[in-house]
Amino acid sequence: MTRIQRLIAAALIACRAAVGIPTIEVKGSKFFTSDGDQFYVKGIVYQSANSSTNYLTNGAQCKIDAKLIAATGANVIRVYSIDPTLSLDECMQAFADENIYVICDMSTPTYMIDKNDPKWTLNLRNQFAKVLDGLHQYDNLFALFAGNEVIVEPNTTVAAPAVKAVIADMKAYRDLMQYRKIPIGYSATDTRTSTSLQDYLDCGNDTIAADFFGLNSYAWCGDSSFVESGYSQLYDRAEGYDIPIFLSETGCNVIEPRDFADQNALLGRQMNDRYSGSIIYEWNNDTTGYGIVNYPNSVATGTPTLLPEYTSLQSRWSTLSPVGVKATAYSPSLAKRDCPKSTTSVWSVQVKDGTVLPTLGLSGFTAPTGSQTTRKTGGATSGTTAGSSPDNTSGGGSKALGPGAIAGIVIGAVALLLAIVLIALRLRRRKKNKAKEVVVNQGEDAPFKGELDGNGVSRNVPQQGAYQEMQAAKDTQEIGTAQAQYELRGEERPGELYEQQHQAVHDTSNFHEPQYPEQPQPAVEPSPHVQAQRRREMEWLEAEETRMRQQRERLMQQGSQNVG
């Protein structure tokens, strides 16, 4: 790859990274991207073969899995826990590159609300805050669960106030640290308590209520139906609900192979006006038998084998792409639910406990003071204000870039790209003119030999396989055969130039600028192959310029709408 090509590719990467992956926001009962499009969940539970907390730490494996997960049509993965002290950069980037969002539980196998002895303690609060600190910086962080299936049967409903206190305190911490409005909700099991729990987590004001409600339901098995499966009842329960609701686990395997027919209802017209999609359980086929792929070893690494369920899910989702409503056209007027009344057989929590919670507040936390940290934006980084938790865990005041700021970045990047293109064209013309003026060295070591023309005048003819420098400057030379791996092949798409450079930018640990022997080149017109290649490069540049201009216009229009 020539120096000019590297500069152009780098400028394109900067343009794309500046836009980044849009964040997810809640408005009324729906999810929207920060671009204003309604977002429907097509998710897969992504976990290892064991119950380790170290998900999203194997960057090489995430790159393999992210491409395969994206190929199913998925746009979300769910992980049950992470270790916030470990780096998640490579995995989060791998999924961002595939336009996949991550939804994560704040609890871990060690730190969680115990359904049998529910207590919300300062230690738990600080540990949950660390998870928020470790994930908030990634724009493809979709949402966080305050708990998963803590309340199951009527005797465990006493844990509901503790779960709601987690939501209230973590939302307060999120806002104190000036993080973006990352949605915080709960994942419930579908039992006779779930209707009351759904109402309970929603009642009260926005500071203590859940931002969304997830439901784990495996009721649709095999050749079932909307009514027979009970999905019609789930749909009825969501009527007038003022926050998003979706299935946070689904995928009954009583009848195999699974055909995922329930997705037609969830993402189709039967339910998609009230439900925001679902998450399939699960990716890896461990001992539960719910997986859609098999790994060649017990630690779930390497390239997995795709099971029939993988193809079935892929086929199902390929026909389901709900568009929904634009955020600008959506003006909800929905009310929160009343807190459920206590009943001996279903719900044991008193009505007043829906708003009077065992919250711990923000004592010990330090708000941002102006120091800077780095925010991951699916390729770009930006300075943000940082704060700290009681044990000096770093946080960050991560605010999403506004449309005007993004538009400014894109405009600047496009201007840089155009300048580089103009310089490249000028250098190319100068190079062509220099070729006509080149002086050939007639010494013994010259790669040219003399030959007489018809008038007896000596002329220079290149020997077979020899090359001559086009310019006097020795550091400017055409790519020779030893550098062919960096040159676009004739059958390659022009866009592949970006893909190669994109990989190089994100994996530079072992990169060294290649050193090649100086190879002179002929002072003749480039071959048809090279000319065709250059035409492809220019067509590619023109196409990229058009795409970036359209992106700029769209962002400017969005910025104008927001200002208006």
State pLDDT tens for residues 240-264.
Answer: 999 999 999 999 999 988 999 999 9
Lowest pLDDT segment from 149-158, 455-464, 475-484: 475-484
Q: Which of 86, 172, 187 is nearest to 134 (CA)?
A: 86
The per-residue pLDDT for 353 is 79
Claim to verify: residue 413 and residue 359 sit in the same structural domain: no
The structure's pTM equals 0.68
Reported as a pLDDT band with limits 50, 70 and 90, residue 528 is: low
Provide the 10 A C-beta neighbour count for residue 175.
13
Q: Give the CATH number of the domain where residue 171 resides.
A: 3.20.20.80
Reported as a pLDDT band with limits 50, 70 and 90, residue 377 is: low
Claim to verify: residue 115 and residue 29 sit in the same structural domain: yes
Pick the residue with more confidence: 197 or 534?
Answer: 197
Among 316, 340, 366, residue at a domain's last position: 366
The per-residue pLDDT for 495 is 35
The pair of three-digit structure tokens given for residue 31, joined into one six-digit string: 């999810």
Claim to verify: residue 346 and residue 413 sit in the same structural domain: no
The per-residue pLDDT for 538 is 72
Question: Residue 139: inside a domain, yes or no?
Answer: yes
Domain residues for the domain of 104 are 23-366
Question: Residue 389: inside a domain, yes or no?
Answer: no
Judge whether residue 238 has pLDDT over 60: yes
Question: Residue 457: inside a domain, yes or no?
Answer: no
| Arithmetic mean of pLDDT over the chain | 77
Question: Residue 86: inside a domain, yes or no?
Answer: yes
Mean pLDDT of 121-129: 97
Among 366, 388, 423, residue at a domain's last position: 366
State pLDDT tens for residues 134-148.
Answer: 999 999 999 999 999
> How many Cα atoms sit within 13 Å of 529 on the Cβ side?
6
Amino acid at 506: H
Judge whether residue 419 has pLDDT over 90: no
Question: Residue 400: inside a domain, yes or no?
Answer: no
Among 349, 366, 383, residue at a domain's last position: 366
The total domain count for the chain is 2
Mean pLDDT of 230-235: 97
Claim to verify: residue 330 and residue 431 sit in the same structural domain: no
144 in Cβ contact with 105 (< 8 Å): yes
Question: Residue 446: inside a domain, yes or no?
Answer: no
Claim to verify: residue 114 and residue 198 sit in the same structural domain: yes
Determine the Cα–Cα distance for residues 231 and 217; give it in Å rounded to an integer: 9
Claim to verify: residue 152 and residue 293 sit in the same structural domain: yes
Judge whether residue 269 has pLDDT over 50: yes
Pick the residue with more confidence: 371 or 52?
Answer: 52
Known catalytic residue: 249?
yes
Claim to verify: residue 299 and residue 432 sit in the same structural domain: no
Per DSSP, the residues of 427-484 read: HHHHHHHHHHH-----STT-SEEEEE-TTS-EEEEEPTT----SSS-TT-----GGGG
Pick the residue with more confidence: 267 or 15?
Answer: 267
What distances in angstroms separate CA 380 from CA 13, 15, 229, one per listed residue? 9, 9, 45
State pLDDT tens for residues 147-170.
Answer: 999 999 999 999 999 999 999 999
Judge whether residue 317 has pLDDT over 80: yes
Who's near 284: CB < 8 A, 6+ residues apart? Answer: 47, 48, 49, 291, 293, 294, 295, 300, 304
The per-residue pLDDT for 550 is 76
Determine the Cα–Cα distance for residues 493 and 500; give it in Å rounded to an integer: 12
Per DSSP, the residues of 332-397 read: ----PPPPPPPBTTTB-S-GGGGTS----TTTT-EEEEEEEEEEE-SS-EEEEEEEE-TT--B--B
Claim to verify: residue 355 and residue 430 sit in the same structural domain: no
Claim to verify: residue 184 and residue 247 sit in the same structural domain: yes
Judge whether residue 370 has pLDDT over 50: yes
Peptide bond into 98 cis (omega under 30): no
Catalytic entry in 249, 469, 537, 544: 249
Question: Residue 515: inside a domain, yes or no?
Answer: yes
Claim to verify: residue 227 and residue 342 sit in the same structural domain: yes
362 in Cβ contact with 213 (< 8 Å): no
The per-residue pLDDT for 556 is 75
Mean pLDDT of 533-552: 70
Question: Residue 452: inside a domain, yes or no?
Answer: no
Claim to verify: residue 338 and residue 433 sit in the same structural domain: no
The per-residue pLDDT for 288 is 80
Claim to verify: residue 343 and residue 484 sit in the same structural domain: no
Mean pLDDT of 97-102: 98
Pick the residue with more confidence: 168 or 467?
Answer: 168
Bridge partners of residue 266, in order along the sequence: none
